[in-house]
Every structure is written in structure tokens, then in C-alpha cells.
Amino acid sequence: MTSIISYNVNGIRAAIKKGFYEWLKEANPDIICLQETKATINDVDVAPLEALGYHHNWFSAEKKGYSGVATFSKQQPDTVVEGCGIAAYDNEGRILRTDFGDWTLLNCYLPSGTSGDERQAFKMRFLDDFFDWATDLKRTRPNLIILGDYNIAHHEIDIHDPKGNKKTSGFLPEERAWMTKWLEDGGFTDAFRKTHPDMRQYSWWSTRFNSRANNKGWRIDYQCASGTMSEALRDALQLNDVVHSDHCPVWAEYEV
């Protein structure tokens, strides 16, 4: 069995101060993928990470303290590829590929559109380009896990207040339609929804209005699998009790 966690840490240095390394030692996943690291490898004390037996790969944004992803794995990847070859996205450190034998893991931090129309338009362009790029990759690497912060709540069950948020970025009809296309036309399996079709769990909560304590959240972090990795999926959950960020870890287990 291989346990994989996706976790938007909203700043790895802040998460470390809140006990991230101690939690990681206890959780002990085979692979953990972080989004929104807001740091480069030179900003972080990686000695505790290496002491736990993790190989680590980082892809940081050009802008300091912004975006970025990192993948920590007990097994050394066969191949590591930074980005998707589109400068506008790669400058923001949004996609990190690691290959393990015949399957590929993509650690992704999809853009948010909450800051205004310009970034919402950027997000929609990214979604279209990302779909095409992933479809092309799938031709040569069909066994994929594409995980991370998608910044989209797909169905009404995935958000605490669907009616009140129907015009909010992250739950717009066009974003939800893209997510349906991603799963249906793209051929991906939403790991959590496949294993728990009717369970209501969230992965992100606003820092306002005591949202987390009241569990008024959104499920915007996913593990999506294709090919043999979809078949290998055994279970998936949000680890709601883990608190280093405004997101929580998203865990899944695969029989590989």
C-alpha cells in the first residue's frame, strides 16, 4: 500500500512553527505533496525532513513568499519535471511532476480567482491549458495521480452554502463545469467521492467568522486518478483534525 497526502500549507515556514514536522513524523505517509509553500528550499530547515527519510523536490515561484509546490517521498522519483512549459504558469511554481515506475504524480496548485476579474480570467485560461496539457501527458503516461489545491468546489455537497456562493469564485458554474469535464471527458476519478459518494467533508475554511470551528467549509483539494491508479485506489479522506493551515491534509491510499 502507498499512502499519499496532499496539503496546502499556506506557508511551510508557518506550518513548521505550528508543529508540521512533528505531525509528519506521526502520520508517516509514503508521499506528501505541499502547495502554497511560499518559500524556496534555502528558506527551510530540511534536516528534520531528511531525518524522516524523505527525498524532497521543490518548485518555487519567482515571486518571493508566493505560491510554490514541493513533493516529499520516501522513494526517490525516477524523473522530476518542473512546470508544464508555459511560462505564465511556471513562473508561479504551480506544477511539479514526479514519476515512480509506470505511474506519474502531479503536485498542482491551481490559481485562485478571488482577488478580482483579472485573476479569474487567468484562472480560466489556466484551466483550459491545463486540461489540454494533462490530456497530452496522459497519452504517454496514462497512470496518473493529479492532486493538489484545485480551488474549485465541484458539487453542492462540497460546499457549506451553495446558494449563497453561486456567484463566488471557486463555485462559479463555469468552474464547476470544467471540473465535470475534467472527471468525465478527462477520464479522472475523484478519489474521495469515489470512495465516499455521500460523505460531506471539507478541506478549506475561511479564516473569518469562526468558519472552521463551525465547519462552514469548502472541498477544493483533490486527488484525481487515472488508469491503473484509479483501479488501485482503496480509500480517501480529509484529515480534518490536522491544523497547520486554513486547509487540511487530503489523504488517499493506493495498492501499489
pLDDT score for 26: 98
Whole-number pLDDT of residue 82? 98
pLDDT lower than 70: segments of the chain: none
pTM for this structure?
Answer: 0.98
Q: What is the pLDDT of residues 169-180, one digit of tens each?
A: 999 999 999 999
Fill in the amino acid letter for 120: Q
Active site residues: 149
Match 465516499 to its residue by C-alpha cell: 196
Q: What pLDDT is recorded for position 240?
A: 98
Structural domains of the chain sorted by starting position, each given as residue range(s) with its CATH number in brackets: 2-254 (3.60.10.10)
Q: Residue 15: its pLDDT value, please?
A: 98
- Name the nearest CA neighbour of 235 among 187, 201, 212, 184: 201
Residue keyed to cell 499512502: 3
Which backbone phi and psi does 165 adopt, to 5 degrees?
-115, 15
Q: Where are any strands of DSSP class E within the chain?
A: 2-8, 31-35, 55-59, 69-73, 79-82, 95-100, 103-109, 144-149, 189-190, 204-205, 217-218, 221-225, 233-238, 250-254
Whole-angstrom Cα distance, residue 202 to residue 208?
A: 16
